[in-house]
A and B are shown apart, each in its own frame.
Chain A
Amino acid sequence: MTVTAGFGEAGEAGEAMFQRPPAEVRHADELAALRADDDDPRPPGWKLSLRAARRFIVGDEQAGISRKFVGNVSLVERALVTLATNRGLMLVGEPGTAKSLLSELIAAAVSGSSALTVQGGAATTEDQIKYSWNYALLVSEGPSARSLVPAPMLRGMAEGRIVRFEEITRCPLEVQDCLLSLLSDRVITVPELHGPQGLVFARQGFNVIATANTRDRGVNEMSAALKRRFNFETVFPIADFETELDLVEAESATLLRQSGVEPPPRRDVLEVLVGTFRELRGTAAQGERMSTVMSTAEAVSVAHAVGVRAWFLRGEPGAAADVVACLAGTAAKDSPEDLARLRRFLEQEARRRPGPQWQALHEARHLLAD
C-alpha cells in the first residue's frame, strides 16, 4: 500500500515507487517554471526570489502553481524574510499543524533541496549535527578532509543551503546549544584539521529552520541565548471550519481510494468528525483541551479509518457510529482522562447540536469502549 503523508500531492509517475518523494521532486515542474520567469531580485545564495518562493508555497492560480500550505500568507512572508536575515526561523505549534511540511517547502524553494535535515531526538549528538569521522580512514590517514564525514549543518554552511532541524526541543539542551556559535559566528571549527580546512565558513544562502512542538517539551526550556538567535513563528491549526473540512475531505478521499475503498467519504459525517476535532482541540466554546493531539492530520487519519472500517465490514460509506469507534483509538490513545473528556463530549455536547449526524454520534456513544 502506498500512502503519501502530509498535505502534498501524490508523487509523479516516475517516483511512484517512493512512498513520499521530497518536495523538490514532487513539485519539480512548478519550481522550474517559477525559476524560469523569476525576475525579482534574489537574496544571495537563494535559488528563487522571495516573491517566487511565496508563490510556490501559497500558490498562484493564474500561473498554475498549486497552494501547498493552508494558513496565513503573512506567516509565510515573515518566515521567508526571516531566512533572508541573519536570524534562524523557529516554527512552533501543536503537533500536526504542518510545520515540517512548511519547512520542507521553504527549504525546497530557497535552496532547491529539503534533504539537509537533522532529526532531533533524545539521542541526537553533536556528531549528527556538525560532523563525524570515517574511523577506518581516520586511523589509517589521521584527520583529513577525506576522513571527515560532514553532517547536515556543515554541509549546509559549506554549500550555502537551508538546513532543517526537526523537533529541536527534543534534543538535550547541551546539544541544542552547539548551534549557538554556529548561528552567530556562522563558522564551524574543526579543531582536528589544521590550516584553512579547520574553519568552515557559512556561504550565503545558509540558514536554519527549526521546528518544535508545544506538546512534548515546549520552547520554554530552550536557553535564552539560543532563543534570541531565532525568530519565532507559531503555526496554528486551520482557523476556518470550511477550509479544514475541505482539506480533510480531499485528503481522506485520496487515502480511501488508495486503500481500495470505493465510496468517497460522506460530507455530513466528515462535518461531525471535524467539528468534534475542533471542539476537543480547545478552540471552541467549552474550552476543554485534550492532552492528545487533535490535528487536521489526525482528523484525516480518523476519516480514513472510518471509511475503511465501514467499507470492509459492511460495504457502505462511513457513518457517525464508525467515527465514535475510531475516535476511541486516535483521540483517546492511552489517556483515561482524554477518554473521559471524549465521553463527556459525546454524552452532553453532541446531544445539543442540531442535525441528524450529531444525534447519531450521541446515540453511538456506547461504542466508546470502557
Chain B
Amino acid sequence: MPASLPDRPAGQSRPAPATPPAPAVFLGVRHHSPACARLVAHTIRTLRPAFVLVEGPADMNDRLDELLLAHTLPIAVFSHYRDAERVATSWAPLCDYSPEWIALREGHAAGAEVRFVDLPAWHPAVAGHTERYANRYADAEARYAEATRRLCEHFAVDTVDALWDGLFEVLGPDADPEELRTRLDTYFGLVRGDAEADAADRAREEYMASWVHAALARAGDRPVLVVTGGFHQPALRTLSARYAQAAAPADWPAVPAPPDGALGGSFLVPYSFRQLDAFAGYQSGMPSPGYYQRLWETDPQGAGQGLLRAVTERLRARGIPLSTAGLIAARSLSQGLARLRGHPYETRVDVLDGLAGALIADDLDRPLPWTTGGTLGAGNHPVVVEMVAACTGDAVGRLHPGTPLPPLVHDVAARLAGLGLADTDAPVTLDLTEEEDRSRSRALHRLRVLGVPGFTRVSGPADGTDPVFTEVWEPRPAAGGREAALIEAGAYGARLDEAAAARLGERMSAAGPEAGAPADLLFDAVQCGAGALCADLLTAFAARVGQVGDLGRLGEMLSATLSLWRHDRVYGVARDQLLGGVVRSAVDRVIWLAEGLHGGPGVDLAALRALEAARDALRYAPGLLSVTPRTAAEAAARISRDPRAPAGLRGAAFGLRWALGVPDDPGPVVQALAATAADALGDWLTGLFAVAREEVAHDTGAEEHSLIDVVDGVVSALPEPDFLVGLPALRQAFAFFPPRERERIAERLLERRRLRGSARSLLRTPADPLLLARARALEENVTRLLDRHGLGPSPADRAAPAPHPEPTR
C-alpha cells in the first residue's frame, strides 16, 4: 500500500542526514505518534545536532529545566491568558511517546541546545483558531480536511487515524528510519499540498522559521534539527530557504510579551490519559493513548495483544460473557482484516474491528466510534464502551516534587487569605445577602466543585427557589491531600474561578447526553458565580435542555431557572442572558413534549406544573422566548383538542390559552368530558385550575357561559353513581383555590340558585370534627395494614399533594 503513495518532486527530497552542507533537518511529525517519536530519537542519535528546535511555547524556554525533572508522564504545559476581552487556556500534553518530549529529552542528553520555537499559547495566532479549551498538539491538518479526505478515499479507509496507523504506526520499531522519513515527507507534502494555510498558521510558521534562521547562524557547520507538526514542515522548509539569503541575526528571536494589563503564563500540570483522550473534534489529535503507550513500549503485535487482553479483562470484570471461541473468532477476524488491508501486523482499528465483529451479537444504536472519528457519545453498546476505555488507558501523571506549583495553588491560597478563610477552624456562617459573604461562598463552592477537600457545606439553599439565605460551612483542618488535590486541579485553570468553570464543563460532557440537563449542575454554576466564564457551560446546557425527555423534570428546571432569572437578588443572575437562553430552550422543549404526551387517566401534576412554568415564562419573559404567545396558544389549542392527550394536560392547555388571553368556550368541552368519563372532568379541571386559577376565579363571563356555571350545570345533572366516581378528582381540582376564592365560588353558586345564606358556611363541613378525626385514624390504620402486606398504593400515587385539603362541599 505505501508503494502507491504518489512520488514527491525530486527537488524536495532530503539528502542523507550526515551529508553537509545542509545543516537544517526538518522533521515533520504527528503529535503523539510513537513512530515519529522513534524517528526523532534515531535522528538525534545519528545526527548529533547542535540545536534541537521543537514546536512548543517559546515563553517556556527559560524554564526547560522544569520539564527535564523526573516526572511521571503524562504531564502538560498548561498556558493561560486573560485580558479585558479574552480568556484563553490551552494545554500541550506530553506523554512518553510524544515526539516533542523525546526531542527534549534526547536532545538534552545528546548535548544539543533545545529550544521551543512556537509562539506563546496566549498569542492570538495560537489561541485564535480554537475554542476556549485548546490542545496545542492537535492535528493542524484536521482544519484543512480536503486533502486528508482524498487520501482516505484513495486508501479506502474511514478515518485519518486508521490511515495513519496503516501507513506509519504499523511499521513498528524495526522500520527503516530513512524509509519512514521519506514516507512522512511524502505524506505531509500531500496533506499540505494545495491547502492555503490561514493567517494564524502563517504567522506561526514565520515565527518558527525565524528561530531556524537564528539557530543556523549559531550552529556553524553543525546541523540543526527542527521537530514540528508535519503540516508546518513543508512551509518551514520553503520559508527557511528564503531566509537563507538574509543576514545572520545577532540574537534569538524575541519572545512576544503579553500586552499591558494582560495576565498570562505557562506552567506544568499533571495530566491523564483520560483528559488526553477527551478532546473532541478538531482538538482531538491522536486518540487511544493507552494503546499507543503499549505500542511505544513494545511493538504493534505487543500493543494488539495488550489491547485484546485489556478488553477481555474489562469485559469479564463487568460480567459480560466472553467465550474462548469468541476470542478466537475475534483474533482470526483481526488477522484477516490486517491482511486484507495490507498491514504487516494488526493495527488498532484491525483489533477493534475484529473484537466488535466477533463479540457483539446485537444490533448497534450508534456506529462504531473508531469508524467515524468522533468521541464516544450516548447509546453505545457496553462492549464498545469497554473497548474504547481499554484503548484510553488509565495512566495518571505526577509532577516531580521539585516542580514549581501550578498557579492555581497560589491563587487559592491568596484568595482564601484575602477572604479570611485561610486558617479557620470554627464553622463559617455566611449571610448570602452580604456581598462579602457572597464572595466567600463563591470561593468555597468553587473549591467544592473542584473536589478540593477542606470545607464541607452543612446547610444552605438547596436550589434556586429555596428561600434560605444562610450557608454554614465546616472546615476540616489538616485535611489530607488538599495540596495534592489543588495541584491536580491546577490542570483546569490558573485561577479558581476559571478552574471551577472548566471543571463544571467537564462534568457536563462526562455526564453524557442521556443524563439530560442536570439541574444541580446549573445551580452549581450559579453558586460558583455564573459569569462570562460559565458562558460555554450555560450555552451547552441550553442545548442539552432541548433533549430532555421528561416533561415533569423539565418543568421543575424551568420554574427554578425562571425564578432565578426573574427574582434572584443573591447570586446576581437576575436578567442574565445565558440563563435566559436556558429558559428559552426549556420553553421550546416543554411545548414540544407537551404536544406529544399521550396517556390514560390520572393527573400528572409535574406535567401540569411544566405548563404552568411555561405560562409564567410566556407572561413575564416574552422577550426571551422564541415561542410567541400566538404559537404557544396554537399549540395549546391542538393539545386541548387532542383526544389522546391526558385529560389533565388538555385542561392545562385550555387554561394556557385562557391565561394567554384567548379563552375558548368551556361549555362544549365540559359537556363532552362529563359524557365520556366522570373522573375525566375532575382531571381536566385540575389541569385548568393549575394553569389558569386566577382567570377562572375572576371569570365574570355572562351567565350560562362562565365556567363555574357550566360545571355546576353538568355536575348537578350527573347521576349519583357517576358523581361519586368523579368526586375525588373534582375535590382535587378545587383544592387549587385558596379558601377565599372558594368562598366566592360558593357565593356564585348560591346566587345561581337564587338562594340566600352564608357562603362560608358551605365551605365548612357540618360533621362532628371528632368523627372526622376518627375516620382519618381508621383510614391510616387501613393504609398501614395494606402497606404491611404489600397491597398499598405505590409511593408515586400517594404523593399527589392537595394544597388546601379541606372538603369543599
Contacts and interface: CB of A to CB of B under 8 A. Distances in A.
**A and B held together in a complex:** yes
A367 B362 CA distance: 40
B333 A228 contact: no
Interface stretch (A12-20, A233-241, A247-255, A309-317): A233-241
Nearest to B360: A232
A140 interface: no
A239 B372 contact: yes
Given A232-B360, A239-B372, A285-B547, A344 B592 contact: yes
A334 B626 CA distance: 33
Interface centre among A220, A231, A288, A336 (most CB of B within 10 A): A231
Given A80-B340, A232-B357, A85 B333 contact: yes
Interface stretch (B105-113, B155-163, B777-785): B155-163
A331 B168 CA distance: 48
Interface stretch (A105-113, A172-180, A189-197, A346-354): A346-354
Interface of B is mostly: helix
Interface in B348-365: 349, 353, 356-358, 360-364
A181 to B, nearest CB: 16
A341 B349 CA distance: 39
Contacts of B329: 85, 87, 231
A286 B340 contact: no
Interface string A268-310: 0000000000000000011110000000000000000000000
A344 B639 CA distance: 11
Interface stretch (B91-99, B179-187, B291-299, B630-638): B630-638
Contacts of B357: 78, 81-82, 231-233
Contacts of A231: 329, 333, 357-358
Contacts of A358: none
Contact of B367 (A214, A239, A336, A351): A239
A74 B353 contact: yes
Interface string A192-226: 00000000000000000000101000111000100
A22 B687 CA distance: 60
B596 A72 contact: no
A224 B325 CA distance: 14
Contacts of B592: 286, 344, 348-349
Contact of B363 (A78, A93, A336, A349): A93
Nearest to A219: B363
Contact of A218 (B363, B546, B588): B363
A73 B158 contact: yes
Interface stretch (A24-32, A50-58, A119-127): A50-58
A35 interface: no
A232 B359 CA distance: 8
Contact of B635 (A50, A220, A347): A347
Contacts of A227: 361
B659 to A, nearest CB: 20
Contacts of A85: 329, 332-333, 336
A137 interface: no
A54 B332 CA distance: 18
B340 A50 contact: yes
A84 interface: yes
Given A74-B162, A228-B325, A234 B364 contact: yes
Nearest to A87: B329
B340 A81 contact: yes
A224 to B, nearest CB: 8
Nearest to A78: B357
Contacts of B363: 92-93, 212, 214, 218-219, 232, 234
Contact of B596 (A74, A232, A288): A288
A220 B362 CA distance: 7
B518 interface: no
A198 to B, nearest CB: 29
Contacts of B339: 50
A165 interface: no
B337 interface: yes
B337 A351 contact: no
B552 interface: no
Nearest to A230: B361
A239 B374 CA distance: 12
A186 to B, nearest CB: 16
A347 B634 contact: yes
Interface residues of A, number: 49
A77 interface: yes
B488 interface: no
B88 to A, nearest CB: 29
B157 A344 contact: no
B477 interface: no
Contacts of B157: 73-74
A340 interface: yes
A75 interface: yes
A224 B323 CA distance: 13
Nearest to A83: B336
Contacts of B326: 228
A233 B364 CA distance: 8
B575 interface: no
B158 A74 contact: yes
Contacts of A340: 595-596, 642, 644
A288 B588 CA distance: 15
A75 B337 CA distance: 11
A287 B361 contact: no
Given A72-B158, A74-B349, A347-B638, A236 B367 contact: yes
Interface string B361-379: 1111001100110000000
Contacts of B333: 78, 81-82, 85, 231
A80 B156 CA distance: 14
Contacts of B638: 343, 347
Nearest to A336: B644
A144 B626 CA distance: 77
Contact of B361 (A50, A55, A214, A228): A228
Given A78-B353, A85-B329, A232 B591 contact: no
B549 interface: yes
A114 B515 CA distance: 46
B495 interface: no
A343 B639 CA distance: 12
A288 B597 CA distance: 12
B156 A81 contact: no
A75 B635 contact: no
Interface in B303-345: 323, 325-326, 329, 332-333, 336-337, 339-341
B340 A51 contact: yes
Contacts of B598: 337
Contacts of B323: 228
Interface string A46-75: 000011001100100000000000001111
A182 to B, nearest CB: 18
A334 B340 CA distance: 46
B141 to A, nearest CB: 20
Contacts of B158: 72-74
Nearest to B332: A85
Nearest to A352: B626
B337 A344 contact: no
27 contacts: A54-B340, A58-B156, A73-B156, A74-B157, A74-B353, A74-B368, A77-B337, A77-B341, A78-B337, A78-B356, A78-B357, A82-B333, A85-B333, A214-B363, A219-B362, A219-B363, A228-B326, A231-B357, A232-B357, A285-B546, A286-B546, A287-B547, A337-B598, A341-B596, A347-B595, A348-B631, A352-B626
Given A72-B158, A72-B367, A343-B638, 10 more contacts: A74-B162, A75-B371, A78-B357, A84-B336, A85-B332, A228-B323, A231-B329, A239-B372, A347-B634, A348-B595
By Cβ-Cβ distance, the 6 closest A-B pairs, closest first, are: A81-B336, A92-B363, A234-B364, A227-B361, A231-B357, A50-B340
Interface of A: 50-51, 54-55, 58, 72-75, 77-78, 80-82, 84-85, 87, 92-93, 212, 214, 218-220, 224, 227-228, 230-234, 236, 239, 285-288, 336-337, 340-341, 343-344, 347-349, 351-352
